[in-house]
Amino acid sequence: MQGIPIGDVVAEHGSPAFVYDGDALVGQYRGLRESLPEAVDVYYSLKANPNIALFALLEREGAGAEVSSLTELRTALRAGTDPGRIIFLGPGKSRAELEACCEAGVRAVVVESLDELARLDGISRELGVRQPVMLRINPDFQVKRSGLSMGGKARQFGIDQDQVLGARSVLADLRAVRVIGVHAYMGTRILDADTVVDNTERILRLAEEIAERTGIGLDVVDIGGGLGVPYFPKESELDLAALSEGVGAAVERFVDRHPGTRLILESGRYLVAECGVYVLGVRYVKESFGERFAVADGGTNHHMAAVGIGSIVKRNFPIGLIGRKSGEAEVPWHLTGPLCTPADELGKNVDLPADLGPGDLVGVYRSGAYGPTASPVHFLSHGYPAEVLIHNGQIHLIRMRDTPEEMLRRQLLPDFGRSEPTDQS
């Protein structure tokens, strides 16, 4: 990666580890940025990978932050983001989170229910601030081709389109918060540019209708995102040129009518997935019932997504041998981890060299998004792996591996005393 052998990274920081290519990350951001009209701001969804160093690189490129917890908010602030480039969303925000938003002065709190809107209005009034909010809409329509649909039916996310359209008087009664626009997020893992364009058009139309019917302003319209990356055979890259053309035209028509409105596109997976590789060390190889197993030092505890996102049939992420060339033919291997469950299988029948053995390094590619943060890292108390960033030809440790001492420090052992063992014989 950037001329640095992954083996050197592992020699320094051990395995398993997530290794990120900072140049690739920045390149991916720039590619997206350049495909979008000037009126659209790109906000990074920290949910996809909350590492502060990765976000800091994006932030310096101009990305805003879309955060959903107090720690994500603090991460964005500590990385140096202007609060005016942070939005906070999520269906179950705590009072502490809402207060922190008001105190920091984030660009907008995206409210997900009328109940929450009333709560935030109260908090905002108590704190004496005019907190800007966006209304997250649960539209009547669904995305046709996304990995996971987030709207268009009964959902904990957002406020149903009809309820918002009928909320004119509720909105007029707000005392402290200022409704500055609307938000809609329809689904994730979208690989079809037409779907994104279609979505954007519908969201922009809906935003206009809501503004007309309720009288709210449209300083900001968040068109969601959910741009995907291909992981599996037969999936193909999002056509950025088609996206650029279609979204560009839709936004241009909208901005002609609403010259002051800024748009937001949220993106997590698309920005970080490709820049990360999950690096595993093979510990043992064995055969069972005639099939080959490579047992590695990490598994689904750090990379649940590799088990096959939302699919019943197991599909493998791109997986390959790292650090040496093998002259041997490739044969099918099961790549498993350290967990005591048969589900701990990162790859099934993965083609790897026949002479794979202990000490070899294997990489699971396109692993920068929804890795350890979205996995059961505490299962069997293995903890979080190391995270390493390669940037400008330098190796940076950006998250220390959890240690048993640190993990045990969170557990409390009451003083139960110690009775004499009784003789059971």
Residue 264 phi, psi (nearest 5):
-125, 135
Question: How far apart are CB 233 and ligand PLP at their closest, in Å?
Answer: 21
* 226 near ligand PLP, rule: CB under 6 A: yes
| Closer by beta carbon to ligand PLP, 185 or else 254 | 185
Residue 207 phi, psi (nearest 5):
-60, -45
* 391 near ligand PLP, rule: CB under 6 A: no
Question: How far apart are CB 128 and ligand PLP at their closest, in Å?
Answer: 29
* 50 near ligand PLP, rule: CB under 6 A: no
Task: Enumerate the H helices of 258-324 as residue ranges.
Answer: 269-272
CA distance 325 to 331: 15
**Structural tokens at position 40:** 């659209």
| Closer by beta carbon to ligand PLP, 200 or else 336 | 200
Question: How far apart are CB 225 and ligand PLP at their closest, in Å?
Answer: 5
Q: Comparing C-alpha atoms, which of 366, 248, 382, 268 is closest to residue 315?
A: 366
**Structural tokens at position 358:** 């202990």
The residues facing 111 across adjacent strands are 135
Question: How far apart are CB 185 and ligand PLP at their closest, in Å?
Answer: 4
Q: Number of residues interacting with ligand PLP: please give it, by CB under 6 A.
A: 15
Residue of minimal Cβ distance to ligand PLP: 268
Virtual CA dihedral for 286, 291, 294, 295, nearest 10 degrees? -70
Q: Are 109 and 87 in contact (CB under 8 A)?
A: yes
Among 18, 20, 185, 333, binds ligand PLP (CB under 6 A): 185
CA distance 258 to 219: 9
Give the x-and-dash track for 74-93 against ligand PLP (CB under 6 A): ---------------x----
Look up residue 298 and give its DSSP letter: -
The residue type of 423 is: D
| Closer by beta carbon to ligand PLP, 227 or else 243 | 227
**Structural tokens at position 228:** 């995907």
* 48 near ligand PLP, rule: CB under 6 A: yes
Tell which positions 113-142 bind ligand PLP, by CB under 6 A: none
Q: How many residues does the chain have?
A: 425
| Closer by beta carbon to ligand PLP, 15 or else 45 | 45
* 266 near ligand PLP, rule: CB under 6 A: yes
How many Å is the Cα radius of gyration of the chain? 24
Indicate the SS3 state at residue 145: coil
Among 262, 269, 366, 382, binds ligand PLP (CB under 6 A): 269
| Closer by beta carbon to ligand PLP, 47 or else 93 | 47
| Closer by beta carbon to ligand PLP, 66 or else 116 | 66
Among 22, 181, 268, 299, binds ligand PLP (CB under 6 A): 268
- Residues at the contact surface with ligand PLP, assessed by CB under 6 A: 45, 47-48, 66, 89, 185, 188, 225-227, 266-270
